[in-house]
């Protein structure tokens, strides 16, 4: 057994610094588990002279601006990619596999877009490829799915996988602040980027759900297969109505597989206050898993940050080294079992929330009810309040289960009713809360 395993690090930013720090801090524990020491031999950086928080821990690690110094070093066994971006990271990982080096990454964008290609390259070269940190930071959700549910059939995943949007919605719900003010505070606290588009438009969550769906259902899910709606257009009125009806608003990643067809989407949804996801607040993440055998299980924790993400990276590094010692590297790369088939809208069912304004006159609600009844859509809950505009009523309904196709048809017909002034909001409802 080797006395030392050398790691090459691509990137010494927030996560890379955390990796170096944790390896040094927990060297004794790692050596006890593995029977050998782990050392970051060299690291790719953009500026070797930049002051870093881990300058003391980085002693003994060679800094370089040339990725080939890391990728072509015969003494390096494992490459850790935490530099971010897509194309440069993709090329570096493919070079690493060609050099028979194992790879650990935290790069969700890369895995979501090029996961199939990278898995193929890893399998061809009998290399390990792990990316636990790419989804939900330090929460061991990917290992939980692949190992913990190995003998189970996962039917559905539902999760809060973006801390930025969860923080914003928590502030809006708890304090009644506007979306713009909540976003500004999230940016000031470092939970949101200066350009928050990837988070608030749902793209970050969509990438994570593509990865989760692929592993949970053993079928390739491309990013374009994920239907995405962000949180920019959420109004305080909907959070307040939802609260009155027993719900809270969350940006939910949803994936379901019936053994043949799959659906994956990211969208704001009203969650029953009785559901465990409703209590996931601020920047925290959680993934709720429905297994045929185990029933319901939830993974919860910090979804981002230097140390939680670095912890997940090092966990993968430890797994790789154990595989090296056992001589089973590359064995975790398994081709998907199922050919991808997306579920059509007429076979996707749920409860829905609709808010609209209508003329406050006799017979309006009767016409609205008839429209929905003709499509076999019934109402579970109804609220009607006077609007700020004269002679106008604001109406909120929550439906019983209906197909998404029929709901879209109902919304189109609702907008065409002369007595309906506008349709403001349409959200999926999860859970069965009562007012």
The CATH superfamily holding the domain 147-302 is: Dihydrodipicolinate Reductase; domain 2 (3.30.360.10)
CATH class in words for 345-430 = alpha beta
Where does 259-373 show beta strands of DSSP type E?
262-272, 284-291, 295-302, 349-359
Separation between Cα atoms, residue 269 and residue 272, nearest integer Å: 10
Separation between Cα atoms, residue 281 and residue 160, nearest integer Å: 10
Q: Is the pLDDT of residue 66 over 60?
A: yes
Lowest mean pLDDT among 12-26, 82-96, 223-237, 326-340: 326-340
Q: Which pair of tokens denotes residue 406?
A: 């029929």
Separation between Cα atoms, residue 240 and residue 139, nearest integer Å: 31
CB atoms within 10 A of CB 91: 12
% the chain with pLDDT above 70: 97
CATH fit for domain 4-138+306-326, picks 1.10.287.1080, 3.40.50.620, 3.40.50.720, 3.90.1150.10: 3.40.50.720
DSSP assignment, residue 226?
A: S
Record the pTM: 0.91
Q: Is the pLDDT of residue 362 over 50?
A: yes
The pLDDT, as a whole number, for residue 434 is 46
* Confidence band, pLDDT 50/70/90 cuts, at residue 150: confident
Alpha carbon separation from 74 to 59, 105, 189, 426, 428 (Å, rounded): 21, 20, 42, 57, 53
The pLDDT, as a whole number, for residue 56 is 62
The pLDDT, as a whole number, for residue 435 is 38
Instruction: Enumerate the domain spans of the chain.
Output: 4-138+306-326, 147-302, 345-430
Catalytic residue positions, numbered:
208
């Amino acid at each position: 057994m080797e006395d030392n395993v050398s790691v090459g690090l691509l990137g010494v930013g927030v996560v890379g610094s955390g990796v170096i720090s944790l390896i040094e801090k927990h060297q004794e524990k790692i050596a006890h588990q593995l029977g050998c020491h782990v050392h970051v031999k060299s690291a790719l950086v953009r500026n070797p002279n930049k002051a870093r928080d881990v300058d003391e821990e980085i002693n003994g690690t060679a800094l370089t601006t040339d990725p080939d110094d890391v990728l072509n070093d015969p003494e390096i066994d494992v490459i850790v990619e935490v530099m971010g971006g897509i194309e440069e990271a993709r090329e570096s990982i493919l070079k690493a596999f060609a050099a028979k080096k194992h790879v650990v990454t935290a790069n969700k964008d890369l895995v979501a877009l090029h996961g199939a290609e990278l898995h193929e390259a890893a399998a061809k070269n009998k290399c390990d490829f792990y990316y636990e940190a790419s989804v939900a930071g330090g929460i061991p959700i990917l290992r939980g799915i692949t190992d913990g549910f190995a003998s189970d059939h996962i039917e559905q995943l539902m999760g809060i996988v973006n801390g930025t949007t969860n923080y914003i919605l928590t502030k809006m719900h708890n304090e009644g602040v506007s979306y713009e003010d909540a976003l500004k505070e999230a940016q000031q606290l470092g939970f949101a980027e200066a350009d928050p588009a990837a988070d608030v438009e749902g793209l970050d969550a969509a990438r994570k759900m593509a990865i989760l769906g692929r592993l949970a259902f053993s079928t390739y899910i491309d990013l374009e297969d994920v239907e995405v709606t962000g949180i920019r257009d959420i109004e305080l009125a909907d959070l307040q109505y939802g609260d009155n009806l027993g719900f809270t608003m969350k940006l939910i990643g949803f994936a379901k597989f019936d053994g043949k067809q799959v659906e994956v989407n990211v969208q704001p949804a009203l969650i029953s206050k009785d559901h465990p996801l409703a209590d996931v607040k601020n920047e925290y993440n959680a993934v709720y898993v429905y297994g045929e055998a185990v029933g319901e299980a939830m993974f919860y924790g910090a979804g981002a940050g230097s140390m939680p993400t670095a912890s997940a990276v090092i966990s993968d590094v430890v797994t790789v080294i154990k595989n090296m010692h056992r001589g089973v590297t590359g064995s975790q790369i398994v081709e998907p079992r199922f050919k991808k088939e997306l579920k059509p809208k007429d076979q996707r069912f749920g409860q829905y929330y609709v808010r609209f304004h209508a003329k406050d006159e006799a017979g309006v609600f009767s016409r609205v009810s008839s429209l929905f009844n003709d499509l076999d859509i019934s109402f579970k809950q109804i609220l009607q309040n006077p609007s700020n505009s004269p002679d106008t009523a604001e109406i909120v309904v929550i439906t019983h289960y209906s197909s998404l196709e029929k709901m879209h048809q109902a919304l189109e017909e609702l907008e065409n009713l002369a007595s309906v002034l506008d349709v403001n909001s349409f959200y999926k409802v999860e859970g069965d809360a009562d007012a």
